[in-house]
Chain A
Amino acid sequence: MGMGRAIVLRLAAEGALVSILDIDKDAADATSALVADAGGDAIVVPCDLANRIEVRDAVATHLARRGGIEILVNNAGVMHGEDDLVENTPDRAWNFTFAVNLFGPAALYDEIIPFMVRAGKGAIVTCASNAGVMGTTRPVYGASKGALIGLTLALARRHQRDGLRINVVLPGAFATPMIDRVRHFPASVLHPRYRPIAGLADPAAIGGAIAFLVSDDAATINGAIVPVDGGATAV
């Protein structure tokens, strides 16, 4: 299970009316079915986040079907399969990674924040990565997430008086299909010396932090960077 499905299941269980924007319609349909089985409500809006037009249309579809938008969770992201020195990293790795990890969320900000500002209310949580605040063996992925964090925190500050709360979570190593696809995942990051809570985390563990941050319990939390990484950034 990916983090997206885990987040949808948790938010739907909390009563949210969810729209799943995903390039993988089959996986999104399966998530929607799981939500329905649990008595929740999650519709699927197929969308390639790297395509600006599709993002605009997807948000319009959501608004037409749901009538509003109080919560945005930016979870989609890609990690390029290659793990190599900067000097050996091809342009396509940069272009693909930034199209999804940075320009995808930026497009959603463009489409959704003005709507939230007009409504005077909104909670956004953006999933970056602990690789966005540390040096790692994945410079392009890390740079995309670092840029996403900078952009997001500046928006949190800009809209702090508009009724919006915008926060960042830093997921660490979760047992997800994305991690499965990564070759040469460094065993060192799973060692207790580098991660107080060793091992790959269950994706469900990201849902709690996000459900909290978008809830009214977090009404005074804005512009926070919340690591959910087993303590990797703390040691």
Chain B
Amino acid sequence: MTTSRLDGMTAAVVGGGALGETIEDCLRRSGAAPWLKTPSPATPTEPADILVFVAATAVDFAEAVAVGLEAAFTHARSVLGPMRRRGHGAIVFCATRQPAAGDCPIAAGIAGGLATLARSIAYQYGADGIRVNVVLPGVLASDADIAAAILLLASPDAVFMTGTCLPIGQPEPSRWPG
């Protein structure tokens, strides 16, 4: 499909490694001015029209919450004020990859937290022109698939989508986000 152009839009892509680079490339080809940012929560994200946060993974649950959920919160927090003052903004949270059969409590916890965080930000900031959505990549999703879904949610094509969770490449419907 042809997604709306993002000409003139600034976009911060936080985390993701190779996936982050794919997302950055996708955004650039759509006309946006993206930059990659390390996911360290210690440094705030510069003001941007679009924030894409890609959750990192960890084996330890507390660490996974820190790099997958708390970091989403702190980066969103740093861009929301400027977005509100500009009167527009799009945030996309990308959950950690969900394995088949749902037997991964850590990934499920991160996905559930991101889903609810997105809903609350959507609720609080919807009137300010800010949209927040989540993509839930499954085992069958390639980086290109994920980047395409993120591009949709970041673009004006998704003008009436906020607080949603979009599963991509999952072998079965996921119920994790509650």
Q: Which residues of A contact B (CB under 8 A)?
A: 85-87, 89, 91, 94, 98, 102-103, 106, 128, 131-140, 142-151, 153-155, 157-158, 225
A213 CB → nearest B CB, Å: 17
Q: What are 7 A-B interface contacts by the 8 Å CB criterion?
A: A87-B84, A98-B70, A102-B65, A139-B121, A148-B112, A150-B108, A150-B112
Inter-chain contact A136/B176, CB cutoff 8 Å: no
Interface centre among B78, B109, B114, B163 (most CB of A within 10 A): B109
Whole-angstrom distance between the Cβ of B157 and the nearest chain A Cβ: 22
Tell me whether A154 and B73 are in contact (CB under 8 A). Answer: no
Q: How many A-B residue pairs have CB under 8 A?
A: 131
Is B17's beta carbon under 8 Å from chain A? no
Give the contacting residue for A154; candidates B104, B115, B124, B125; CB below 8 A. Answer: B104
In the assembled complex, which residues on chain A have CB atoms less than 8 Å from the CB atom of B61?
Answer: 103, 106, 151
B50 within 8 A of partner (CB): no
Chain B nearest CB, measured from A138 CB (Å): 7
How would you classify the secondary structure of chain A's contact residues: helix, strand, loop or mixed? helix
Question: B103's contact among A91, A137, A143, A154, by CB below 8 Å, is which?
Answer: A154
**CB-CB < 8 A to A136: which residues of B?**
119-120, 123
Q: How large is the interface on B (under 10, 10 to 19, 20 to 34, 35 or more residues)?
A: 35 or more
Within 8 A of A (CB), among B110-157: 110-125
Contact A139 to B80, CB < 8 A, known contacts A103-B62, A148-B112, A153-B108: no
On chain A, the residues within 8 Å of B65 by CB distance are 98, 102-103, 147
Supposing A132-B178, A147-B109 touch, asked if A157 and B103 sit within 8 A by C-beta, the answer is: yes
In the complex, what residues of A have CB within 8 A of residue B80's CB?
85-87
Q: Which partner residue on chain A sits nearest B132 by CB separation?
A: A135
Q: Is the CB of B176 within 8 A of A86?
A: no
Determine which of A89, A142, A158 lies in contact with B116 in the assembled complex, contact meaning CB atoms within 8 Å.
Answer: A142
Residue-wise, chain B 74-118 has the 8 Å CB interface mask toward A (1 for contact) of 101110110010000000000000000111111111111111111
- Residues on the A chain within 8 Å of B104, using CB: 154
The answer to whether B109 touches A148 (Cβ under 8 A) is yes
Instruction: Evaluate whether A142 and B119 lie within 8 angstroms (CB atoms) in the complex, with A85-B80, A86-B76, A148-B109 already known.
Output: yes
| Cross-chain contact of B77 among A89, A144, A154, A155 (Cβ < 8 A) | A89
B69 at the interface (CB under 8 A from A): yes
> When the two chains form their complex, are residues A143 and B113 in contact, meaning their CB atoms are under 8 A apart?
yes
Measured in the bound complex, the distance between the Cα atoms of B117 and A85 in whole Å is 12
Chain B residues with CB under 8 A of A134: 116, 119, 123
User: 19 new A-B pairs (CB below 8 Å) besides A142-B116, A150-B105, A150-B108?
Assistant: A85-B80, A86-B73, A86-B77, A86-B121, A87-B81, A134-B116, A139-B121, A139-B124, A143-B114, A144-B113, A145-B116, A146-B177, A147-B69, A147-B110, A148-B109, A150-B177, A150-B178, A154-B102, A155-B105
* Beta-carbon contact of A154 and B108 below 8 Å: yes
Chain A, residue nearest B122 (CB):
A135
Q: Let me know if B116 and A137 touch, CB within 8 A.
A: no
CA distance A84 to B175 in the complex (A): 29
A227 CB to closest chain B CB, in angstroms?
A: 11
Min Cβ gap A117→B in Å is 14
In the complex, the answer to whether B109 meets A102 with C-beta atoms within 8 Å is: yes
